Structure 1
Amino acid sequence: MDEINLWYVARATGMVSLLLLTGTVLLGIMGPMKVGTATWPRFALAGLHRNISLLTLALVLVHVVSIAVDEYVPITFTDAVVPFMSAFEPLWLGLGAIAFDLMLALLITSLLRPRINPRLWRSVHWFAYICWPVALAHTIGIGTDAAAGWALIVSVLCALAVLAGAVWRVTPRLKSLKTSRAS
């Protein structure tokens, strides 16, 4: 594969990974809210969340490999895993490495979920809420299309979707707090 094709692969997998990661976070927000209908049961939501998470990680792996193999920029596999060690854009690439490492931790603990303490799994799983904004910052800061209108629009829409999901999840809790304080 020539450098131009690898560059396109890296760009495309990076942007699609952000979209899928956003979907994963939104599905993760919906899970504890017991969202489900007769035609869309809760277990289907959990399965979709799991499968989109795995697809996201697979695309991130393709993103990392295509960047490391491409010789256009001096990024190594180590740079993609060890934060802030790269000579090329250390801050933005470091944020990508952190997001990747967090995704790996989420995957490993999810695979080990039946064998580990549920509290440990839950505490590690909260890192998903850190992983997403770190990945978004990486996208905006290092992406070659970050200044382009379409990429910025996609990033802003992802941010608005997660913000709306977070508000939706927190709103019932706020209402119950107001109700319990009033009584």
Structure 2
Amino acid sequence: MLDNILEIFSIWNMIRLSGFLALFFITFSAGFGMLSKVSCLKKKKALSHFIHLSSAWGSALSLLFHLFLLVVDTYQPFTLIEMLIPFNANYAPFAAGLGTLAFYFIIIIYLTSDFGMKKLKRNTWKKFHWLAIPAWIFSLAHGVIIGTDTATSWAISYYLVCIFFILLIGLVRATQKPVVKSVTRRG
């Protein structure tokens, strides 16, 4: 029984789980971030924003755990150089490079949002925040290409649900009037 428990919580399984979890949170964060400007959810904007931020932090934590496990893995370890320089890994360099680029985009988004939002002009912040789209695409592609579970029906379903979720929210956002802040004049 102990062997079964150790197998379930093996580094290899935790690498896979943390990767899937990071994609889940990135998908939710991107989706609910897109929903923040949809007029039909104006009354739920605070909840949507809370889910967006919570998911962003969930993705950051699961991503950092994923990266840590890749360094300490004894079967197919990644060096810090392999993880920091895109497309430089010995194992699956293209897929690993997409993951590295997604990581950098996510770091830029976090730094400009949580630490630099008050110091940046809104338009500059928004331009950095648009990196969320390639970050999500690269994260998804990274998982699909490098993932050892990609050929399984549950992983295919998982990836398709993530794609459908983002496309559906993108469609909702594209067809709804944006939330516009009203400006009142004092006289």
Shorter-normalised TM-score: what interval?
Answer: 0.7 to 0.9
| Counterpart pick for 2:12 among 7, 16, 37 | 7
> What are the within-5 Å matches in structure 2 for residues 31-180 of structure 1?
31-34=36-39, 35-37=41-43, 41-111=44-114, 112-172=116-176
Percent identity over the alignment is 26
Q: What CA distance in whole angstroms lies between the structure 2 residues aligned with 1:162 and 1:168?
A: 10
Is the CA contact (8 Å cut-off) linking 2:38 and 2:176 kept in structure 1? no
1: CA distance between counterparts of 2:66 and 2:75? 14
Question: Structure 2: how far apart are the matches of 1:51 and 1:82?
Answer: 28
CA contact (8 A) 2:25 2:59 kept: yes
* Structure showing the higher helix proportion among its residues: 1
8 Å CA contact 1:81, 1:100 repeated in 2: no
User: Does structure 1 conserve the Cα–Cα contact (< 8 Å) formed by 2:71 and 2:78?
Assistant: yes
**Structure 2 unaligned residues grouped into runs of 5+:** 1-5, 178-187
Q: Could you tell me whether the CA contact under 8 Å between 1:92 and 1:142 is conserved in 2?
A: yes
User: Normalized against structure 1, the TM-score is what?
Assistant: 0.86
Distance 1:86 1:31 in 2: 37
**Any idea what SS the aligned residue of 2:175 has?**
helix
> What's 1:29 paired with?
34
Please state whether the residue corresponding to 2:118 is helix, strand or coil. helix
Q: Tell me if structure 1 keeps the 8 A contact 2:82–2:88.
A: yes
What is the TM-score when the length of structure 2 is the normalising length?
A: 0.85
Distance 2:109 2:88 in 1: 23
How many angstroms apart in 2 are the aligned matches of 1:97 and 1:122?
A: 22
The 2-side partners of 1:22 and 1:60 are apart by 13
CA contact (8 A) 2:89 2:96 kept: yes
Amino acid at match of 1:31: S
Q: Helix, strand or coil for the counterpart of 1:88?
A: coil
CA distance in 2, matches of 1:128, 1:99: 9
